[in-house]
Amino acid sequence: MKKYLYLILISIISCHKPYELVSVNLNVSQVLQLENWGVQAKNLITIWCPRIARVLDVEEYPHNIDLTLQKSNEGIAYADSNAITVFSYWIEKYPGDIGLIVHEAVHVVQLYPEFDPGWVTEGIADYIRWHLYEKKPLEWFPIGEEEKGYEAAYRITGGFFLWVTNFKNSDFIKILNTAMKNGEYEPDIFFQTTSKDLDPLW
């Protein structure tokens, strides 16, 4: 019996790719006083990129990431391909908002051929940031009151995706991400995964 259990365990392990290390190149040359924040952000990217990849069921994504803290008088952060830029204005105003790095790391893993529909792209990123990283429950997320409130993106859409995942299809985020990744997103993906069209679902 022990032999069979051992063989089953080996077969399960062999079906899953191990975590691939992520290398982060940190540049704080413009804001040396924020180096500690930058190191914390770097470590977060290293830990969370592989986790995000597993949540989204992604194997191919950038493993060499550039993180730059840029001196500024406005702005928050953005991701472009394998590069994440965070503006000093936001860090100095909200030093505890380290979770924004997880949101931007999601965009690095997503690497969709097209950003649009933007509400889907940003909704997935906030679903991961706020629910999986910040551990926020469904009732924490704001509820949009407009007819097509799901298009509000960020936390409102993230909460909607969490509701769909919890009550309609536990694989919804993976399926949605795959469609976006392949450039095949269509609104009827909601019917395919939940048996309801998008508007009635909302």
Same domain, 35 and 103: yes
Query: Which of the listed residues 49, 75, 110 is the one where a domain comes to its end?
Result: 110
| Domain identity same for 193 and 140 | yes
Residue 132 shares a structural domain with residue 102 = no
Residue 96 phi, psi (nearest 5): -85, -5
Domain count, the chain: 2
pTM: 0.89
Look at residues 91, 110, 129 and tell me which one is the last residue of a structural domain: 110
Identify whether residues 30 and 105 lie together within a single domain. Answer: yes
pLDDT cut 90: percent of the chain above it: 87
Do 67 and 95 have their domain in common? yes
For the segment 98-124, the average pLDDT, to the nearest whole number, is 97
Task: Identify the domain boundary among 93, 110, 127.
Answer: 110
Asked whether residue 152 is domain-assigned, the answer is yes
User: Would 10 be classed as within a structural domain?
Assistant: no
Residue 14 lies in a domain: no
Answer yes or no: do 60 and 100 share one domain. Answer: yes
Instruction: Please name every residue paired with 25 in a beta bridge, in sequence order, or none if there are none.
Output: 66
Residues above pLDDT 70, as percent of the chain? 91
The pLDDT, as a whole number, for residue 19 is: 58
Identify the bridge partners of residue 69 per DSSP, sorted by sequence position: 86
Task: Tell me: do 66 and 91 sit in the same domain.
Answer: yes
> What mean pLDDT comes out for the span 131-140?
98
Classify residue 11: in a domain, yes or no.
no
Q: Quick one: pLDDT at residue 47?
A: 96
Same domain as 92, residue 161: no
What average pLDDT does the structure give for the chain? 91
pLDDT digits (tens, 9 = 90+) for 36-53: 999 999 999 999 999 999
Mark whether 63 and 85 lie in a shared domain. yes
Model confidence at 5: pLDDT above 80: no
Domain assignment present for 7: no
Q: What's the one-letter identity of residue 169?
A: N
pLDDT band at residue 2 using 50, 70 and 90 as cut-offs? very low
Per-residue model confidence (pLDDT) at position 10: 35
In a domain, 18, yes or no: no
- The reply to whether 91 and 37 lie within a common domain is yes
Whether residue 104 is found in the same domain as residue 140? no
Q: Can you tell me the distance from the alpha carbon of 181 to that of 2, in angstroms, rounded to the nearest whole number?
A: 42
**What sign does the dihedral 43-84-80-177 (CA atoms) show?**
positive
In this structure, are 72 and 42 located in the same domain?
A: yes
Mean pLDDT of 57-74: 96
Which CATH number goes with the domain that contains 97?
A: 3.30.2010
User: Is the residue at 9 inside a domain?
Assistant: no
Greater pLDDT, 66 or 148: 66
Domain assignment of residue 49, given as a range: 23-110
Contacts of 48 (CB under 8 A, 6+ apart): 101, 102, 105, 133
